[in-house]
Structure 1
Amino acid sequence: MRAMILAAGRGERMRPLTDTLPKPLLSAAGKPLIVWHIERLVRAGIREIIINHAWLGRLIEERLGDGRRYGASISYSAERQALETAGGIAQALEFFRGEPFLVVNGDIWCEWDPAEALGRQTELAAAGLQAWLLLVPNPPHHPGGDFELQADGMLRDPATDTPQAAASRDAGAADMGGAGSHTAADAHPGARTARGAAAASGSDTRRYTYSGIGVYHPALFSGLEKDRPAPLAPLLRQAMRAGQVAGRVYEGTWIDVGTPQRLREIDCLLGARAGTASAAASPKAC
């Protein structure tokens, strides 16, 4: 299986940290965020990875190289301008050779095991689905969630139940993934575990927040033009209306590392596990 890490965003909310360094290279516990992703993918047996980049992308290539030091084979998809999530994936589509693939937002922290994606890849091909999404319980700042998980494991978006609602929602849709985009996760950040967040939000447990991790079939992006910005949200909603998107809820730690404060959160978390506090997060800050 092949994977893509989305890393093309400008990281406006991380400024001034991202004025001279792309967000994926910001460190948590002494290691760049994107390296944590790469190492987790390699441990799961997913070694062929493509990374898209735009802002200061050459620094990402210089830091990671061809990936051999991590046990991976890394390719790059350079974007002259950030193409948003679906546009970035469409530009890199040939890399996946017509097979379902894993996509991970570069600006999240999640302890989910990517090895599950291997089984989901087979599931998509066998069932004729276009996407499988990993969801997380709704955080306090987003009690309504994004998508509804039905009893059969399929996802739906109640906001698109009518053609009028769908047209209105899609016309103003924010991008649903990628470092630097304003996803649902970005709007209601922080670290949380499933049970604690569900209790805090007080929301219907059947509706959840998209984590920024998904397995996609290339067919979902077949209608997009290369080199044209395109958000992911409208594609997912259209596929949901056709009954072609499945998912499940992840009951573990998930953090949207979208601001300096949340970078300190993950730095403190990892530092506490290691029994030390890194330079980015002093004991006082933690």
Structure 2
Amino acid sequence: MKAMILAAGKGERMRPLTLHTPKPLVPVAGQPLIEYHLRALAAAGVSEVVINHAWLGQQIEDHLGDGSRFGLTIRYSAEGEPLETGGGIFKALPMLGETPFLLVNGDVWSDYDFRQLNKPLEGLAHLVLVDNPGHHGRGDFRLQGAQVVDGDDAPGTLTFSGISVLDPALFAGCQPGAFKLAPLLRQAMAQGKVTGERHGGLWVDVGTLERLAEVERLIGERA
């Protein structure tokens, strides 16, 4: 299975760290954030990774290179204009092929084992959900058995972790340009074509300096 890491965000809430450094390269406990994903993907048996980028993207390419030092082959999808999540994935699809691929947001940190996703995909997407963090108390989606449905502010709503497996067919009919991923997922949910699971381990959306400090604390406790 190939993988894609979303790394095109500007990280505005993490300034001044991200004024001259792209968020995926911000060091966390002495290691760039994106390298935690790369090492975990390689350990899970992934060999090919696509990384999209925009803000200061050349720094990402210069730092990671072809991926060989991680045991990976890395290709890059450069975005000249913001394409949002859906548009960014759609642009990279020619590099990802026609089979399901693993997708991970470059600005999350987790102890989730990517090997758990190395199984046949039933439907168009499989989402890893987590308990709602304090900054996202309303959550996103709910689990009904193995199926994921829209949250609708109902009890038991969980937060999308930014880790998933997607079938390229999810993007059938899409056109180049900027668009969000969530509407495509909700459309597939309405058709009963999205499965999911709850991850009860560690997970942080590293979107602010405070959450960056939280990740460093968690990594220190595991050392």
The TM-score range, normalised by the shorter chain, is over 0.9
Counterpart of 2:218 in structure 1 is 269
| Deviation, structure 1 residue 225 | 1.7
| Deviation, structure 1 residue 138 | 1.8
Are residue 155 (structure 1) and residue 105 (structure 2) matched? Answer: no
Are residue 91 (structure 1) and residue 91 (structure 2) matched? Answer: yes
**Distance in 1 separating the partners of 2:151 and 2:217:** 37
Are residue 44 (structure 1) and residue 28 (structure 2) matched? Answer: no
Contiguous gaps of at least 5 residues in structure 1: 161-202, 275-286
Counterpart of 2:180 in structure 1 is 231
Amino acid at match of 2:191: A
Deviations 1:4-37 (A, max 9, x none): 0000001110111111000000011110000110
- Which of the residues 140, 154, 160 maps onto 1:146? 140
Counterpart of 1:212 in structure 2 is 162
Amino acid at match of 1:220: L
Q: Moved runs in structure 1, 4+ residues, more than 4 A?
A: none
User: Mapping of 1:18-33 within 5 angstroms?
Assistant: 18-33=18-33
* Secondary structure at the counterpart of residue 18 of structure 2: helix
Contiguous gaps of at least 5 residues in structure 2: none
Counterpart of 1:116 in structure 2 is 116
Counterpart of 1:63 in structure 2 is 63
- Which of the residues 133, 137, 146 maps onto 2:131? 137
* Secondary structure at the counterpart of residue 80 of structure 2: coil
Query: Higher strand proportion, which one?
Result: 2
Contact 2:53 2:79 in 1 (8 A): yes
Higher CA-based Rg? 1
* Secondary structure at the counterpart of residue 266 of structure 1: helix
- The 1:158–1:212 alpha-carbon spacing in structure 2 relative to 1, beyond 3 Å, is closer
* Secondary structure at the counterpart of residue 77 of structure 1: strand
| Deviation, structure 1 residue 116 | 1.2
Counterpart of 1:280 in structure 2 is none
| Deviation, structure 1 residue 137 | 1.1
Are residue 15 (structure 1) and residue 18 (structure 2) matched? Answer: no
- The 1:141–1:97 alpha-carbon spacing in structure 2 relative to 1, beyond 3 Å, is closer
Deviations 1:105-147 (A, max 9, x none): 000001111111111xx1x2xx4x1111000012244343211
* Secondary structure at the counterpart of residue 75 of structure 1: strand
| Deviation, structure 1 residue 271 | 2.7
* Secondary structure at the counterpart of residue 92 of structure 1: helix
Task: Tell me how many residue pairs correspond in the alignment.
Answer: 223
Amino acid at match of 1:222: A
- Name the % identity: 52
* Secondary structure at the counterpart of residue 178 of structure 2: coil
Specify which structure has the bigger relative contact order, considering alpha-carbon pairs within 8 angstroms and separated by 6 or more residues: 1
Q: TM-score, normalised by structure 2?
A: 0.96
Amino acid at match of 2:68: R
**Distance in 2 separating the partners of 1:141 and 1:264:** 15
Contact 2:151 2:158 in 1 (8 A): no
Counterpart of 2:196 in structure 1 is 247
Amino acid at match of 1:219: A
**Distance in 2 separating the partners of 1:209 and 1:57:** 28
* Secondary structure at the counterpart of residue 17 of structure 1: coil
**Distance in 1 separating the partners of 2:222 and 2:162:** 24
Deviations 1:140-161 (A, max 9, x none): 443432111102x11111549x
**Distance in 1 separating the partners of 2:3 and 2:213:** 27
RMSD after superposition: 1.5
